[in-house]
Amino acid sequence: MSNEMDTKAPIVIAHRGFSSEYPENTVTSFDASVSAGFSYIELDIHLTADSVIVVMHDETVNRTTNGEGKIRDLYLKEIKSLDAGSWFDSNSPSEKVPTLKEILAKFENRVHIFVEIKSEEEDLLIELRSLLETMGWIPDNNYEKSGEALTVPGISIISFLQDQLLLSAKMLPELAHGLLTIETSEELIEWCVSEGMVGIFPYVGYIDKNFVSSAHNSGLYVGAWGFENPEQLSSNLGLGLDGVTVDWPVEAAVIIGKEISLDE
């Protein structure tokens, strides 16, 4: 476990970058969060028709660009021609869908990236392994649970897809892996422990102190996602979370700072 995981204050993970203020999963969004001092970012990946990993949440380009179609059916050139900013803000039409390679290159040595696996193709993991290896983001040794999990720079792999997560852990044993989930249960904790997961990331609405304590006692990192507003974050800080994934990292840091100062 990292030292940060042992402190009272959870780390702030910028969800798709600074996505409350900028178009999600774009270079501008990630740049804004990193420039504001946040070294932990979360992003989502899919594979194009020509086997290039791009950063986007949905399986289609419909919601966050001016195009239509499934990412796996589109070639990179087609995706790069799309406007990935105007859906969010009419003043940002120059935004483009980034490739993971572009993000890795731009933020080299500056961030820890939580990479969410969004699709079930084995080829996605093959390409991910190749890309991370080529760009020097894979450590020399297999990940040891007793070691540092959240180093900067670094990569963690997360997913709701249990089979894909297990395959990723086999293909990328050097990296920490964690399970995204909506509900919480002892069975999920047991699954994470038995399968060598480092962390569990449930929806905040289902987390209570007993779950966090049980996960911690099992050696798991506990992160939460799904915070709808800063007030919800404030009301859940007493759970003992290790990390919080939010769209508004600056507000989150202010809240956490205030809560910690009140406790001391």
**pTM of the predicted structure, to 2 decimals:** 0.94
CA distance 189 to 168: 19
pLDDT band at 253 (very low <50, low <70, confident <90, very high): very high
Average pLDDT over the chain, rounded to an integer: 93
The rounded distance, in Å, linking the Cα atoms of 154 and 40 is: 9
Q: Is residue 169 within 8 Å of 143, Cβ to Cβ?
A: no
Confidence at residue 141, expressed as pLDDT on a 0 to 100 scale? 85
Residue written as token pair 């020399």: 140
Cβ–Cβ under 8 Å, residues 226 and 204: yes
Torsion of CA 116, 121, 126, 127, to 10 degrees: -70
Q: Mind listing the pLDDT tens digit for each residue in 17-63?
A: 999 999 999 999 999 999 999 999 999 999 999 999 999 999 999 99
pLDDT of residue 4: 39
Model confidence over 124-147: pLDDT tens digits?
999 999 999 999 999 988 887 656
The owner of tokens 């406007």 is 83
pLDDT (0 to 100) of residue 157: 98
Q: Which domain holds residue 106?
A: 3-263
Looking at the structure of the chain, the number of domains it has is: 1
Structure confidence by residue, pLDDT tens digits, 168-181: 999 999 999 999 99
Q: Are strands 40-47 and 53-55 parallel, antiparallel or unpaired?
A: antiparallel
How high is the pLDDT of residue 36? 97
Kind and range of the H or E run holding 262 = helix 249-263
Give me the amino acid identity at 86. Answer: S
CB 60 within 8 Å of CB 69:
yes
**Can you tell me the distance from the alpha carbon of 198 to that of 222, in angstroms, rounded to the nearest whole number?**
9
**CATH code for the domain in which residue 156 is found:** 3.20.20.190
With H, G, I as helix, E, B as strand and everything else as coil, classify residue 83: coil
Confidence category of residue 261, pLDDT binned at 50, 70, 90:
low
Instruction: Please identify which residue in the block is written with the tokens 């402190």.
Output: 7
Could you report the per-residue pLDDT of 66-97, keeping only the tens digit for each? 999 999 999 999 999 999 999 998 877 689 99
